[in-house]
Structure 1
């Protein structure tokens, strides 16, 4: 058994520039899988209060915000209940921006028809209040790109890839970039459990063309924590807020609430004016 005090210590941390202050401090939460059971709403709210203690400027939400709307037997009522709980919990973040991407469990595919207003990804965009299923924005000299990998074989569709290519090309040289996808683009976890981008070679080649810009790629999906450094880019899969889907775990769980060896938690990113970024994963004990 690992105590709550032990799980409160950060699991991983990059080296910060000496004697420099970050221009932004950003929270990365992912795989919340919010639902009514296992006291998940109250536990999630406690997690959010812990995140706030890090004086974050805004939140990046990596998807799978709700438990699982994608299963064939999920009713409209169940899906709406998940989103209602999500809204109630995130109401505690009314003073913060939340920039979200779409997870595979967020869209409701069991609607009576594709013309149903609640069918698929467009409804998720509406509920998460995002500009679209993929988009970008800039804050304090850092550019943020939010991707949608929920396409054939976990990939960017052609239209989205061309948009990404153009978005990077339009940035002034040396502009530091954070990318977020629900799924890992590169890393160790796809070797262990699958679930990574099938277009990883195409993406890493694009990033290499813009190696003066692309600094870090964030993901979730795996519920496993992993940090990989390749061609000057950090690839950070940042565990899951829900850990073992808010459950106690199974035979592979290293401790209660863990998924395999990864405890539930969230990441704090510190972004510096010189393009340096640190990613620290903080386990939580709720």
Structure 2
């Protein structure tokens, strides 16, 4: 089995529709990745709303404040231009579908905007296999798994799931060769808050694949806007912090910017925004993964200043993961 060192740049949860300075954050990432001469870049979802924000199928009683504001005050952001900047990076570039891509459109529409042929797929770089998954499925009251579609998933409490078609594909990808494997997803793939509901089923696939020698090395996700590393049954699960903010909701609402900015981006008040963009450079070799993060801080007032006792961070820690 031959595989070389590989280096990639990664970020998640940019939320162009919420953040007033999303362009600056993306520009900073792109310029740094050019300097680092990474092998590829990837974003883990919640990049932007792919379509206009006029149609949502979520019931009024379950519609969260961020969707209500997006319908009331559509963000004036050059999304196409910024997506093209990402897609025209001089090395390979990859997208993961996040849940908020489907607040106001279908998977087909989001995939078209991102230039994705498939909602889940794999690619190989320098002898490493990378799987990109789609966890944006919820279970109906009749037990059927359904794609997120125009925000309808906010009416469900039984989510998210990896669907059976995708599980079969994952098993095939895991077992067909001895190439070491890294897995990308938006939602966490292990058990825990906001992780996929059928994590046990996926974990059993990992155990099956690893019986002949360790294949599944690391799973990387976004979604929860925290910086976290866990290990379960020999597989590492790494949650990458958001590039932009921690969403906190109405309890700690606070205006931090000018009236003009707050009016144009009304959901900013429901975040703890980060002063600088967060992202990571990940280097893989036969011994382990080395994550180079970004130190940052909250724009004042911070969660601590406001009496929030959640364990939150405005940084991405440097980490060393040994296989």
Q: Structure 1 length normalisation: TM-score?
A: 0.72
- Specify which of 165, 168, 171 is matched with residue 162 of structure 1: 168
Q: Does 1:176 align with 2:180?
A: yes
Give the secondary structure class of the aligned counterpart of 2:47.
coil
Structure 1 residues 56 and 25 mapped into 2: Cα distance closer, same or farther (>3 Å)? same
* Cα RMSD, aligned residues only: 3.6
Question: How far is the alpha carbon of 1:281 from its aligned partner?
Answer: 2.7
In the other structure, the counterpart of 1:186 is: 190
Indicate if the aligned counterparts of 1:220 and 1:239 stay in contact, CA closer than 8 A: yes
Q: Distance in 2 between matches of 1:259 and 1:184?
A: 21
Structure 1 residues 39 and 28 mapped into 2: Cα distance closer, same or farther (>3 Å)? closer
Q: Aligned runs of 1:237-276 on 2, under 5 Å? A: 237-244=239-246, 251=252, 259=272, 265-272=278-285, 274=286, 276=288
CA displacement, residues 75-99 of structure 1 (integer Å, 9 cap, x when unaligned): 6x958956325325426x5312211
Give the secondary structure class of the aligned counterpart of 1:48.
helix
Query: What are structure 1's unaligned runs of at least 5 residues?
Result: 1-20, 110-118
Indicate if the aligned counterparts of 2:49 and 2:102 stay in contact, CA closer than 8 A: no
Q: Structure 2 length normalisation: TM-score?
A: 0.65
**Count of equivalent residues:** 243
Give the secondary structure class of the aligned counterpart of 2:99.
coil
Query: What are structure 2's unaligned runs of at least 5 residues?
Result: 57-67, 139-158, 258-267, 300-323
- Specify which of 64, 69, 78 is matched with residue 46 of structure 2: 64
Q: Distance in 1 between matches of 2:274 and 2:83?
A: 30
**Which is bigger in relative contact order (C-alpha 8 A, separation at least 6)?**
1
Q: Distance in 1 between matches of 2:275 and 2:24?
A: 21
- Specify which of 115, 137, 144 is matched with residue 151 of structure 1: 137
Q: Distance in 1 between matches of 2:136 and 2:275?
A: 24
